[in-house]
Amino acid sequence: MKKKILFFVFVLLLLVATSICIYIFDDYSHKNNIIFYGGTILTMDDKTPTVEAMFIKDGKIEALGNQDQIFKLKTSKTELINLDGKTLMPGFFDAHGHNDLSSFLYGMTDISGFNHKTPAAVWKVADEKVKVTPSGEWIICKGFDPILTKGLHSPTIQFLDSLSPKNPLLLISQSLHSFYGNSLAFKKVGITNKTKDPTVSSYFEKDKDGNLTGLIAEQEAFESFRVEILEVFKKSLVENVTNVMFENAKVGVTSISTLGLSAANKNILMLYEHLSAGTSKPLYKFLELIGKLPERKPNVRHFIYLRYDAPKILIPESVNNGDDFYKILGFKYWYDGSPYIGSMYLKEPYLHSELTEKGFHLPEFHRGEALIKQEDLLSSFDFMQSKGFQIAIHAQGDNAIQEVVSVFEKLNQKYPIEKYRNRLEHCLLLPRELMPQIKKLNLTPSFHINHILYYGDALKNDILGESRSEKILPINSFVQQQQPFSLHSDQPMYQCIPLLLLNTAVNRTSESGTVLGKEEKISVLEGLKALTIYAAWQFHCEDKLGSFVKNKYADMVLLDKNPLLVNPDEIKNINVLQTFVAGKSIFFKK
């Protein structure tokens, strides 16, 4: 009897172990066999701009051409999808995002100027949140914006204390470069008026008597708050990450990026790899089995740039890590900050206006400054480049961009850097005279184009003035120089909507209808390339993604209208109907 029981237990354990092994080594199927026809197929390939039909097999483009040719390839297993006159094109890239921050902010109380047009509306929402939050719990509001919310001024710590006397309260600005806390928030993270500022440019603002004002400037000073809040919201992080990825898929994005990721451990990277990689590791599948990781399914690709000062535990041994679906490409730096708090680094001073004086608290003749010394930047660039990693650096102001380019020039004198395709991020006031040098070094800009739409009027009237505002974001100059560039929304600063980026790049109109830099308008086709094949080139994957060519992955977006044929002002109203990664549907509009 005892032997029978032992045998039964042995068999049961063997069955359980076998089931676990089957589960952890199993994954969703990458197989498919599909012909798309009956609509417009835009390839983003200059050799063959459009085709009548396309055959997808096992995630890649098997053939494309006229319908009669492609239909000869179908078998009994082939699925035929009639586009019904709609437009199919390569999936969009979100070339510069902060998906970690988007997940961090997801579900927090919104006080943005997109949804709250008066100061009273902002403070009403914050007050209502305070009333329903138990004493002692964190209250975090996102989107504080004195530009879009006219008349909104930076709050004092005394005001925030009166608003939330029993809860730590933190306001996160729309630009993500400034933050405001009440006394309980500072106390919670152990910061006092005697705490040393991380850097000259990133600090805890103090008044003339040395007391905290509530303002936290730039990322280094915010770090202790970030760590504390991540701990508070870690229970919802996994759900938030999956929600943010799906939000990208809904707008036609098939490849996302996270620029400047940092964490104390590898947990977030494990989550991202599990969700996006072409195949999952057995360890991750086991963690999925016991509920520590979410269920895997076809998802957006994910390309990551770590913070330049990320812990060593996050840094891969080689640039040849990951796969075609998930990879750490390089490192992100910040050389200056935001034009909307005065930390953008300029050659000429900011305008002295009511907004810059009372909204930003800038002294007259303020120009901003560099966040890192040039010699330190060169040394760090040299180290990263010697390991083969790509560099992406935040540079908004003309002085910032000039000094960054000079650092790359010095590095190029030591050894050629053209192969890395190093990136200049945001590029609000990129000087045209630097463009030949930028091309020689094979630097590639990613333009934060919706500065024009949302803040164009403020830039012109209150921050830069008319002359400089006419020179911002010179994207057509790069078209004329035949140099690839990308467009981005810098989410969560702005919601990632590629067709809205395209609309702004083509029309260059602010919310009031003012055109800024008419000569820098680009064609719809060039804008689409900036969202697809040019962005793929920036990510070193133009041989696999970004256009419809035989043997490339079938990453696709289905649109209800052809962007090349609609009125340019109507591009933003085109609907995304379906999104595919490697031929698998990851979003379908019902």
The confidence band for 19, taking pLDDT boundaries of 50, 70 and 90, is low
The set of residues, in sequence order, having a beta carbon less than 8 Å from that of 424 and lying 6+ positions away, is: 393, 395, 401, 404, 405, 430, 438, 443, 444, 445, 446
Kindly state the average pLDDT of the residues 572-589: 97
| Separation between Cα atoms, residue 408 and residue 421, nearest integer Å | 11
Kindly state the average pLDDT of the residues 62-82: 96
| Separation between Cα atoms, residue 294 and residue 312, nearest integer Å | 26
Sheet holding 204-206, edge to edge: 109-110, 139-144, 169-173, 178-181, 212-217, 204-206
Q: Is the pLDDT of residue 290 over 70?
A: yes
CATH number, span 99-233: 3.10.310.70
Q: What is the 3-state secondary structure (H, E, C) of 128-191?
A: HHHHHCCCCCCEEEEEECCCCCCCCCCCCHHHHHHHCCCCCEEEEECCCCEEEECHHHHHHCCC
pLDDT in tens, 544-556: 999 999 999 999 9
Residues found in the chain: 590
Task: From residue 199, give the alpha-carbon distance in Å to each of 211, 258, 321, 373, 481.
Answer: 18, 24, 33, 11, 38
Kindly state the average pLDDT of the residues 433-454: 97
Kindly state the average pLDDT of the residues 361-382: 94
Q: Is the pLDDT of residue 308 over 60?
A: yes
pLDDT value, residue 11: 55
pLDDT value, residue 590: 85
CB 417 within 8 A of CB 357: no
Q: Is the pLDDT of residue 418 over 70?
A: yes
pLDDT in tens, 198-207: 888 789 999 9
The confidence band for 104, taking pLDDT boundaries of 50, 70 and 90, is confident
Q: Quickly tell me which residue has 């490849």 as its tokens.
A: 255
The confidence band for 482, taking pLDDT boundaries of 50, 70 and 90, is very high
189-198, 433-442, 443-452, 558-567: least confident range: 189-198
**Nearest by Cα to 501 from 537, 528, 471:** 528
Kindly state the average pLDDT of the residues 160-181: 92
| Separation between Cα atoms, residue 416 and residue 441, nearest integer Å | 8
24-28, 33-37, 89-93, 177-181: least confident range: 24-28
Q: Is the pLDDT of residue 558 over 80?
A: yes
User: Three-state SS for 120?
Assistant: helix
- The residue with greater pLDDT, 356 or 87, is 87
Domain ranges of the chain: 1-30+252-329, 99-233, 330-550
- The residue with greater pLDDT, 19 or 412, is 412
Task: Quickly list DSSP for 71-119.
Answer: HTT--TTPEEEE-TT-EEEEPEE--S--HHHHHHHTTSEE--TTT--SH
CB 479 within 8 A of CB 428: no
User: Three-state SS for 5?
Assistant: helix
The confidence band for 559, taking pLDDT boundaries of 50, 70 and 90, is very high
Average pLDDT, the chain: 92
Kindly state the average pLDDT of the residues 309-321: 93
Upstream peptide bond of 492 is cis (omega within 30 degrees of 0): yes
Q: What's the whole-model pTM score? A: 0.91
Q: Is the pLDDT of residue 370 over 90?
A: yes
Helices 282-289 and 267-276 pack at an angle, to 10 degrees, of: 100
| Separation between Cα atoms, residue 53 and residue 66, nearest integer Å | 6
Q: Is the pLDDT of residue 460 over 70?
A: yes
pLDDT value, residue 8: 59
What is the Rg, in whole angstroms, of the alpha carbon atoms belonging to the chain? 25
Between the CA atoms of 80, 85, 88 and 89, what dihedral angle is there, to the nearest 10 degrees? Answer: 150
Determine the distance from the C-alpha atom of residue 222 to the mean position of all C-alpha atoms in its chain, rounded to a whole number: 19
CB 201 within 8 A of CB 217: yes
pLDDT in tens, 224-264: 888 887 777 777 888 999 999 999 999 999 999 999 997 87
Strands 390-395 and 169-173: unpaired
Angle 37-72-84 (CA atoms, 0-180°, nearest 5)?
15
Kindly state the average pLDDT of the residues 358-377: 92
**Nearest by Cα to 581 from 323, 242, 272, 252:** 252
Q: Quickly tell me which residue has 């560039």 as its tokens.
A: 485
pLDDT in tens, 267-288: 899 999 999 999 888 888 888 8
User: Three-state SS for 361?
Assistant: coil
pLDDT value, residue 25: 58
How much of the chain exceeds pLDDT 90, in percent? Answer: 77
**Nearest by Cα to 71 from 44, 49, 38, 30:** 38
pLDDT value, residue 20: 58
354-363, 375-384, 484-493: least confident range: 354-363
Taking residue 573's Cβ as centre, other Cβ atoms within 10 Å add up to: 13
Task: From residue 174, give the alpha-carbon distance in Å to each of 141, 151, 550.
Answer: 10, 16, 42
The confidence band for 12, taking pLDDT boundaries of 50, 70 and 90, is low
CATH classification (class only), 330-550 = alpha beta
| Separation between Cα atoms, residue 328 and residue 302, nearest integer Å | 9
pLDDT value, residue 4: 65
| Separation between Cα atoms, residue 248 and residue 496, nearest integer Å | 7
Kindly state the average pLDDT of the residues 1-9: 62
